[in-house]
Structure 1
Amino acid sequence: MTTPVTNNTPNTSTSTSTSTSKTSARTSLANNFQTFLTLLTTQLKNQDPTSPMDSNQFTQQLVMYSQVEQQLSTNDKLDSLISLSTNQSSNLAMSYLGKSVTLTDGTGQLANGSAVWTYGLDGDAASTTLTIKDANGTVVYSKSGETGTGVHSLTWDGKAMSGDLQSNGLYTLTVSAAAKDGTAIKTSVASSAKVTGVDLSASSPQLVIGSFEVPLSSASLVTN
C-alpha cells in the first residue's frame, strides 16, 4: 500500500497566495470606494446652484456610499472570524500531540501485527459482516461478527484473507448488520490510536498517526 507523505510544516506558499489574493481584493474594493467618494464630492462642488442635484438621486448615492463602507467592514470582520477559527482548530490539534485519541470514522491502526476496533449494534441482528479495507479502499479481510445488541470488539492480526501479512498503517472497518426481516441495524465503530504529529499545511488540521494522517474531526475522545 502507498504511504501518504506527511508534512508537519505549514504550506507557506499556499497561505501566502491566499493572503495576497485577499489583500488584492480588499485593495480593489477600497480603491473603488475612494473613487466613488471623489466623484460624489466633485459632483457636489460643481453642481449648478440654480439646479441642485435631485434629493432622491443624492439619497441613492449616499446609500451606495454606505453600502460600500459596510462591505469593507464586513470583509474585515469575516477575515477576523476565519483567522480566529483557524487558530482555535490549530491549537486544539496541537493539544492532541502525544495523546491517544478515539477515532469514530472506522479508521484503525495496524501496528506490530495487531489492530483493534470496537463496534456496536443498536439491536439484535440475524447477521453481521465485518469488512476491513486498506488505504486504497481495497477489501483485505472480511468475516462474520457478533449479532447481539451492545458493544463488541475485533482484534485483527493483519493477515489478509489470502494469508498474506499486511503492512503497518491505517485500515478502515465497516460493519453491516441486518435483522431477521432484513431491516438494517444501526452500527458504530471506534478505535484508539496515538497522535505522533500534527499537519497544519492543509485547509484544516490533520492528526498524524505513524506515517498516516486523519482529519481532526475524526477524533472524538482524547486520553493521556
Structure 2
Amino acid sequence: MSVSSLNGVLAGASSSGTAKTDAAAIAENFDSFLQLLTTQLKNQNPLEPMDTNEFTNQLVQFSSVEQTIKTNQNLENLINVTSGNSSAAIVSFIGKTVTAAGASSNLKDGVAKWDYKLNSDAENTTITIRDALGNIVHTEKLSLSAGKGSYEWDGKNLAGGTSAEGVYSITIDAKDADGANVQTDTTVTGIVDGVDFSGSEAVLSVGGVRIGLGNITEVKSNSAS
C-alpha cells in the first residue's frame, strides 16, 4: 500500500461531514490498511524487503487524523450543550413582559395598544389598522407631538361593528406642517406565552403576535417584589 493511496483514505475520512462519520470512516479504513499491510508483508520478496519507514509514517498519519476527529467530537458536544442552554434561556422568557419593535398587536378584551416615537411634531398623521389579511378595518387622522406616545384601538371597524379578537397591524403615516414625512417607530408590549423553535431562529409568541428575538428592546420580570 503506497503513501498516495493512504492519503486518499485519509482525505475521504476527513471530508465525510461530522466527527461521528469521520470516526467510523477512519476505523474502517484503518482495518483495510492493516489487512493490506499483512497481505503485502506475507507476499514480499525476501530479497527486496519492504520499506518499513513508509508504514511507520502511515501509522503516524492515522494517529494524527484520529486525534483531530476526537477534537471535532468534543467541539460538537460543546456546541450541543451550548445550544441546549440557549434553548433553556429562551424558554425562560415565558411569563415575562417584553417590549419589541413591531407594528402588530393583539386585540383582546376590546383593546389593542401600540407605543410609538416621533422624531418631530406631526400635525397631519393618519393611523391605519389592518387585519391579518391586510384589510383596512380602521383609520383615524390625528395631530401628534414629538416624542413617545401610545395609541389604543377599541376594535371598532369601518362598518361600525366590533372586530374579532386577534392580531392587527398599525401604520402611522406622520407628516409635519410642511407635508414632510416624520420618522416614526412603533413598539408593542406584552407577556410572552410561548416559544416556537420550528424555524431557523426561535420566535416568541405574545398573545398570538410573533416576535423575533432580535426585535426585543426590553424584558421585565412579572414576579412580585
TM above 0.5: yes
> How far, CA to CA, are the matches of 2:179 and 2:52 in structure 1?
77
> How far, CA to CA, are the matches of 1:93 and 1:170 in structure 2?
22
Question: Could you say which residue in structure 2 is the equivalent of 1:38?
Answer: 31
2:132 aligns to what SS in structure 1?
coil
> How far, CA to CA, are the matches of 1:68 and 1:118 in structure 2?
58
Deviation of residue 183 (structure 1)?
A: 6.1
Residues 161-195 of structure 1 show CA distances to partners (whole Å, capped at 9, x for unaligned) of: 22231111222223344567776543211122223
Deviation of residue 81 (structure 1)?
A: 1.9
Question: Could you say which residue in structure 2 is the equivalent of 1:3?
Answer: none
Question: Could you say which residue in structure 2 is the equivalent of 1:163?
Answer: 160
2:75 aligned to 71, 74, 77, which one? 77
Q: Which protein, 1 or 2, shows the higher relative CO under an 8 Å CA cutoff with sep ≥ 6?
A: 1
Residues 51-77 of structure 1 show CA distances to partners (whole Å, capped at 9, x for unaligned) of: 53886x986896687457535633552
Question: Could you say which residue in structure 2 is the equivalent of 1:13?
Answer: none
Amino acid at match of 1:202: S
Superposed, 1:195-214 pairs within 5 Å as 195=192, 197-199=193-195, 202-203=198-199, 204-210=201-207, 212-214=208-210
Deviation of residue 32 (structure 1)?
A: 1.0
TM-score, length of structure 1 as denominator length: 0.65
TM-score, length of structure 2 as denominator length: 0.65
Query: 2:118·2:183 contact (CA, 8 Å) conserved in 1?
Result: yes
Residues 22-70 of structure 1 show CA distances to partners (whole Å, capped at 9, x for unaligned) of: xx96654322121222234445553657453886x98689668745753
> How far, CA to CA, are the matches of 1:88 and 1:107 in structure 2?
26
User: Paired residues, what number?
Assistant: 197
Query: 2:117·2:147 contact (CA, 8 Å) conserved in 1?
Result: yes
2:114 aligns to what SS in structure 1?
strand
Amino acid at match of 2:210: V
Amino acid at match of 2:78: S
> How far, CA to CA, are the matches of 1:60 and 1:140 in structure 2?
75
Query: 1:33·1:65 contact (CA, 8 Å) conserved in 2?
Result: no
Residues 109-142 of structure 1 show CA distances to partners (whole Å, capped at 9, x for unaligned) of: 2111111111112234464333322233333223
Deviation of residue 104 (structure 1)?
A: 1.9
Fraction of identical pairs, as percent = 23
1:160 aligns to what SS in structure 2?
coil
Amino acid at match of 2:51: P
Amino acid at match of 1:163: G
1:161 aligns to what SS in structure 2?
coil
Superposed, 1:73-222 pairs within 5 Å as 73-74=71-72, 76-97=74-95, 99-125=96-122, 127-178=124-175, 184-195=181-192, 197-199=193-195, 202-203=198-199, 204-210=201-207, 212-215=208-211, 217=213, 218-222=215-219
> How far, CA to CA, are the matches of 1:65 and 1:178 in structure 2?
71
Q: 1:155 to 1:34 in 2, by over 3 A?
A: same
Question: Could you say which residue in structure 1 is the equivalent of 2:22?
Answer: 29
More deviation, 104-113/81-90: 81-90
- The unaligned stretches of length 5 or more in structure 2 are 1-16
- The unaligned stretches of length 5 or more in structure 1 are 1-23
For the aligned residue pairs, the C-alpha RMSD in angstroms reads 3.8
Q: 1:54 to 1:94 in 2, by over 3 A?
A: same
Q: 1:85 to 1:129 in 2, by over 3 A?
A: farther
Residues 85-125 of structure 1 show CA distances to partners (whole Å, capped at 9, x for unaligned) of: 3432333433431x332232222221111111111122344
